[in-house]
Structure 1
Amino acid sequence: MRDLASALLSWDRFAVASVVAVRGSAPRPVGAAMAVGPSGEVIGSVSGGCVEAEVYDLACQVLSTSEPVLASFGYSDDTAFAVGLTCGGSLDVLVQRDSPALRAALSASVAGHPLSVRFEAEGRVFTESWMPPPRLLVFGAIDHAAAVAEIARFLGYHVTVCDARPVFATPERFPAAHSVVVDWPHRYLASTHTDADTAVVVLTHDPKFDIPVLVEALSRPLAFVGALGSRRTHLERLDRLREAGVTETALARLRSPMGLDLGGRTPAETAVSIAAELVALRHGGTGLPLSDLTTPIHRSPPTSIHRSPARFLLAQRNSLTTSS
């Protein structure tokens, strides 16, 4: 729901449906949300299309009655086109009206505050924890950086582009970035907050920029540290980093040359390659074609690397657990 916060706050009333439980295979995870606005407009999704029409009708009902509804949807053996999940799983969806408390929580989440909110329906209590979006720090104000910033923002990152050259580091060149900083990359990184969800992407191709910032980045417990460049550049970079005192253990964390092997060449294609590696690392993916695999398509995210910025919605019976 937090992903829809800005749009929800712009409406004078709305009904929002949230996935609160998933059993088996389902196209959207727990926490996925769809909302219906005052004029019947729709944003978001709870199933990727399987049950959207039925949930829309429930949302219109809740918008009219203000009474929350908890509904279950599952696969129908009679017809694949019946209301249900043709992928074979089932899910529970909570549909509720807007309220002052919900609006206050959405406003706090937009401001970047971590919080948990409580919902109640049919004798059950739910809590949803909203964490700040993960940061992506892009060093190097080149054309590739604009493409990386755009796709990273689409994926839910809070994007900062940093470069020491003011003629290149301008907001006009990077409209998708949340902020554009003119500073030496290593100095900015040393002075800014990072955590285990922060990703660093180095695009500078210039040792006087990328070596100091990579030394700083590899000394921190970041989710991802990657650098763009050819294999020759990578080998030369490793030698320079060793000379700077970076240990082999730290060097093993450097993802360089950065990106998955997609064969792309343009800045946009390169950005897709980098984004694909970020997503694969976050969720423990292999990067292989799904058609070559027999493992489940949807898997539980790893707990040791890059926790997802998505919501975690926990259903409780007769009790309430909150976290911040």
Structure 2
Amino acid sequence: MKEIQDILKAYALASEQGKQTALATVVLVEGSAYRRAGARMLVTDDGQLTGAISGGCLEGDALRKARLVMAQQQPMLVTYDTMDDDDAKLGVGLGCNGIIHILIEPIHPQNSNNPIQLLGIALSKRQNAVLVTLFSLQNRKAEQPGTCLLLSDGEAVFSPLNDEVLKGALTNDALQVLRSAQSITKTYFAQTAYTGFVEYLKPAISLVIVGAGNDAIPLNQLAHVMGWDITVVDGRANYALPERFPGAKQVIVAKPEQVLTKIAADGLTAIVLMTHNYNYEIALLKELLPKAMPYIGVLGPKKKLDRMLAELEDGGMSITPQQLQNVYGPVGLDIGSEGSEEIALSIVAEIKAVLSGRKGYSLKQKAMAIHTPEPEVK
């Protein structure tokens, strides 16, 4: 989502400056590649690049293709085959052992449903969405419809697409992907055979940092680099200051019992308690545990968390094993952190792993491929 945020900002600036733009999207990967389907890069007519479609080896050639797309004002499907041992003949030396298909689309500002506008709509709503991109693998000279459908919360937004049967099929599959939360690649038959990348988009992680001390500043900074939605909460007005936390969407002064009334928590919300105020945190933990939050991190030693939980139970609160599954204390992955910056890194890494359903171990220990390919549906 951070890449899309950066692309939208770059497009807004390019539009103000009257520049032409094109959007390059990785729509299909066969085999291994640095970036997967859904990776994007905005190109301006003066050669500025935002986002990435590879580790840097395809961008130069894609820039040349994008300038041609802007000149001709027609989408273009470009394929890089790196399964050949002599991939240096491409001039890129990829060494990825895969086939990468990239669709490059000119952005027409007058089209209110152009790809950038559809991405903007998806980003503006904190909800899951599906974006459909159509392209023709079999006939590269045929029309490449490109980014043509955004579906979110049951509402479908189409770019110009005249085939009603095809629109119906795309809508049905987008609804399926929205329910399954898994992108798919599928073949569609209209006037020609099209391949559709039906992409599942989820909102950025929402991080609520409870505590506005100096050790919360690196956590805010690192989460901002990740493109997360950040809220900082503290009961101390002289600490909870927006100027101390640039990048945070909200900086709130609140008592523990007020916190949940001032935030909008969802399935991608992580809350980290780091006030260094025992009474504040135990009062807030009492509010949080019954809410089945996906991630509650508690800074400090395990005996501190054990003490809080014991006091809550002694006070009559029933705490279930299911509630404790999502409580992480001490917070963070074990990476040997020392100092607030390294602790922030361990916290961000653990949040990302937990909300992605991963274990957080070294990739060298993973027997399977790093990325799971999108299932191909016939």
Q: Show the 5 A alignment for 1:21-170.
A: 21-79=28-86, 81=88, 82=90, 83=92, 85-99=94-108, 100=111, 101-102=113-114, 103-112=116-125, 114=127, 116-121=130-135, 122=144, 124=194, 125-128=196-199, 130-170=201-241
Judge conservation of contact 1:6–1:110 (CA < 8 Å) in 2: no
Distance 2:119 2:355 in 1: 25
2:11 is aligned to 8
Q: 1:223 to 1:30 in 2, by over 3 A?
A: farther
Pairing partner for 1:257 from 296, 313, 330: 330
Assess if the C-alpha contact under 8 Å between 2:130 and 2:198 holds in 1: yes
CA RMSD, 1 decimal: 2.7
Gaps in structure 1 of 5+ consecutive residues? 302-312, 318-324
Determine if the alignment matches structure 1 residue 298 to structure 2 residue 366: no
Partner Cα separation in structure 2 for residue 107 and residue 289 of structure 1 = 35
Relative distance call for 1:161 and 1:294 in structure 2 (3 A) is closer
| Structure 2 Cα separation of the partners of residues 289 and 41 of structure 1 | 35
Query: Could you tell me how far apart the structure 1 residues matched to 2:202 and 2:77 are?
Result: 25
For 2:267 and 2:79, the matched residues in 1 are separated by 36
Post-superposition offset of 1:91: 2.4
Query: In the superposition, relative to structure 1, how do residues 243 and 39 fare at CA in structure 2: closer, same or farther (>3 Å)?
Result: farther
2:220 matched to 1:218?
no
TM (normalized to structure 1)? Answer: 0.84
Report the structure number with the largest CA radius of gyration: 2
Alpha-carbon shift at residue 96 of structure 1 (Å): 0.3
Corresponding residue of 1:277: 350
Query: What does the per-residue CA deviation read over 1:74-117, in whole Å, with 9 as the maximum and x for residues that have no partner?
Result: 32433354446423233221110112222433443453365555
Q: 1:194 aligns with which of 265, 268, 271?
A: 265
What's the CA shift string for 1:128-148, capped at 9, x where partnerless? 554432311110111221111
Cα deviation, residue 119, structure 1:
4.3
Match of 2:167 in 1: none
Q: Percent of counterpart pairs with the same letter?
A: 30
Alpha-carbon separation, structure 2, partners of 1:171 and 1:56: 39
3-state secondary structure, aligned to 1:172: helix
What is the identity, as a one-letter code, of the residue corresponding to 1:111? S
Deviations 1:281-311 (A, max 9, x none): 23343333334x142352449xxxxxxxxxx
TM-score (norm 2): 0.73
Deviation at 1:254, TM superposition (A): 0.7
Gaps of 5+ in 2: 136-143, 145-191
1:321 aligned partner: none
Match of 2:189 in 1: none
Answer 1 or 2: higher relative contact order, Cα 8 Å, separation at least 6.
1
Residue 252 of structure 2 aligns to which amino acid in structure 1?
A: V
Q: Which position in structure 2 is the counterpart of 1:247?
A: 319
Residue deviations 1:158-199, cap 9 Å, x none? 000001110000011111212101112441224432111111
**How many angstroms apart in 2 are the aligned matches of 1:217 and 1:74?**
51
Please report how far the alpha carbon of residue 38 of structure 1 lies from its aligned counterpart in structure 2 after TM superposition: 2.9
Q: For 2:35 and 2:353, locate their aligned partners in 1 and report how far apart those are by CA, in whole Å.
A: 17
Deviation at 1:27, TM superposition (A): 1.7
The 2-side partners of 1:166 and 1:314 are apart by 51
Structure 2 residue aligned with 1:304: none
